[in-house]
């Protein structure tokens, strides 16, 4: 349902994305992707309409052959980016693979290509659109490929939190948003003296923020914020949790005033599946097995782990390990399986006994990829992700501050061992 006054933009497929700015009364709300009630400014979830049924009639080999042919025909006009959590069937066609940070950097460098097909999730495609030139069209093969964590922070909620903190804290507060957030959140941070961060440079960005203010509000991932701040020597008693579903975030003025780090109550539904008990089970069953986790895992899990770091750090740690090394890895299952296949001389398994799958990333499949390429070959751009000019202008400030604080190599948030440097 669309309200009068919504800002909207048609994408090439005739489907629209829009942002409700009607200022609904506080007691009127709708449900967002997470099923939480929202009010006022609302980010409408994008849904992918069915693609033509001819695609389901193709065999996997026919689809793969057609994708290769389309890539050859489009040549340098096309760049395909693939996130590490993407399924193998798709990642094989990526010109570049990486985590959010690496793909942001690659997206920012694209000046020759006309089309970036982003095999990731929605916020990543938004970042690519913000960082690439206006002449580049960024395309998400399935509009339903969102991120539950990004959906846990909405602009109006952040505006409410900001108003509360400004009113209650006699201190300079710097907003830092994980890059896994909507463009509107990035824009707010850019426009309020803050920045983005990734799991690779969260520490550098927290240090950057604390050089400029006395407090940080860190969103949307409480775990990355808590794990990073704790590793910097900031005590848990100096952090509070701001719950956007509650009045004043559930905090008293004193709690907000005393805290150094205000953590947004958001999390990754995939990394939230790893538990401290799983770490204990690994320790008991195999003392030689190292536990390596992503910092989107809970603080309890990171405390039990041997190593914690970004996706690129995980790849480096395993890639530089000696033959015979054993790993239990706490991150998305496609990456764990790919690492196991790439390093058969090591023992690599998931930390969890269950499949920790990013189901929204998984929506990008080869048939949707072929469909967008077919449309491009026919001169039509479908599923274009476009951030409006004003949001882009503010968000790019936050992203560029992030990109200016990137270490040359991925660094651990926590390490009991120093991984050997990669041979290059």
Binding site for ligand SF4 (CB under 6 A): 85, 121, 147-149, 180, 268-270, 332, 358, 360-361
Cβ closest to ligand SF4, residue 104 vs residue 148:
148
Closer to ligand SF4 by Cβ: residue 156 or 332: 332
Helices (H), 55-94: 60-74, 88-91
Shortest Å, Cβ 146 to ligand SF4: 8
Q: How far is the CB of 314 from ligand SF4 (least distance, A)?
A: 13
Residue with smaller CB distance to ligand SF4, 85 or 93: 85
Residue 396 CB, shortest distance to ligand SF4, in Å, is: 21
Q: Crossing angle for the helix pair 100-109 and 122-131, nearest 10 degrees? A: 30
In the complex with ligand SF4, which residue's Cβ is closer, 105 or 269?
269
Q: CB nearer to ligand SF4: give 55 or 264.
A: 264
Nearest to 105 by CA among 113, 117, 97, 114: 97
Measure the CA–CA gap between 85 and 66, rounded to whole angstroms: 23
What are the phi and psi torsion angles at 45 (to 5°)?
-70, 140
CB atoms within 10 A of CB 336: 25
Minimal distance, residue 371 CB to ligand SF4, in Å: 22
Signed CA dihedral, 99, 129, 397, 153: sign only:
negative
Tell me whether strands 37-38 and 30-31 are parallel, antiparallel or unpaired: antiparallel
The CA distance from 158 to 123, in Å, is 17
Alpha carbons 132 and 160: distance in angstroms, whole number: 31
Burial class (CB in 10 A: 0-12, 13-18, 19+), 278: buried
Cβ atoms 306, 326 nearer than 8 A: no
Q: C-beta of 76: minimal distance to ligand SF4 in Å?
A: 29
Find all residues with CB under 8 Å of 213, minimum gap 6, and list them: 171, 172, 173, 174, 193
Choose between 99 and 375: whose C-beta lies nearer to ligand SF4. Answer: 99
Beta carbon nearer to ligand SF4, 121 or 318: 121
C-beta of 310: minimal distance to ligand SF4 in Å? 12
Q: What's the min distance (Å) between Cβ of 149 and ligand SF4?
A: 4
């Amino acid at each position: 349902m669309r309200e009068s006054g919504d800002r909207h933009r048609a994408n090439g497929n005739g489907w629209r994305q829009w942002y409700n700015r009607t200022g609904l009364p506080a007691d009127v709300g709708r449900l967002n992707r997470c099923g939480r009630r929202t009010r006022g400014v609302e980010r409408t979830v994008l849904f992918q309409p069915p693609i033509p049924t001819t695609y389901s009639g193709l065999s996997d080999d026919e689809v793969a052959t057609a994708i290769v042919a389309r890539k050859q025909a489009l040549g340098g006009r096309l760049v395909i980016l693939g996130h590490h959590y993407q399924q193998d069937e798709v990642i094989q066609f990526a010109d570049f693979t990486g985590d959010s940070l690496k793909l942001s950097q690659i997206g920012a460098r694209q000046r020759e290509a006309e089309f970036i097909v982003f095999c990731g999730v929605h916020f990543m495609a938004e970042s690519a659109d913000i960082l690439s030139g206006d002449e580049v069209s960024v395309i998400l093969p399935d509009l339903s490929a969102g991120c539950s964590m990004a959906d846990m922070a909405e602009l109006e909620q952040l505006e409410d939190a900001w108003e509360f903190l400004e009113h209650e804290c006699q201190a300079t507060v710097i907003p830092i948003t994980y890059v896994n957030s909507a463009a509107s959140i990035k824009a707010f941070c850019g426009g309020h003296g803050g920045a983005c961060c990734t799991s690779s440079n969260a520490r550098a960005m927290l240090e950057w923020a604390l050089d400029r203010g006395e407090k940080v509000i860190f969103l949307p991932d409480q775990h990355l914020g808590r794990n990073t701040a704790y590793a910097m020597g900031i005590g848990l008693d100096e952090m509070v949790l701001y719950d956007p579903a509650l009045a004043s975030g559930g905090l008293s003025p004193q709690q907000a005033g005393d805290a150094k780090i205000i953590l947004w109550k958001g999390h990754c539904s995939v990394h939230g599946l790893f538990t401290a008990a799983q770490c204990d089970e690994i320790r008991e069953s195999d003392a030689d097995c190292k536990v390596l986790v992503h910092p989107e895992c809970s603080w309890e899990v990171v405390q039990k782990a041997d190593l914690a770091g970004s996706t690129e750090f995980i790849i480096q740690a395993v890639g530089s390990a000696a033959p015979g090394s054993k790993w239990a890895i706490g991150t998305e299952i496609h990456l764990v399986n790919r690492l196991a296949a790439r390093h058969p001389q090591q023992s690599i398994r998931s930390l969890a006994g269950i499949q920790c799958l990013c189901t929204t990333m998984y929506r990008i499949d080869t048939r949707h990829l072929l469909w967008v390429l077919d449309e491009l070959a026919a001169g039509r751009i479908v599923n274009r992700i476009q951030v409006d000019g004003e949001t882009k202008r503010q968000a790019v400030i936050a992203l560029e501050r992030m990109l200016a604080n990137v270490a040359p190599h991925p660094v651990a948030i926590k390490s009991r061992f120093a991984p050997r440097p990669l041979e290059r």
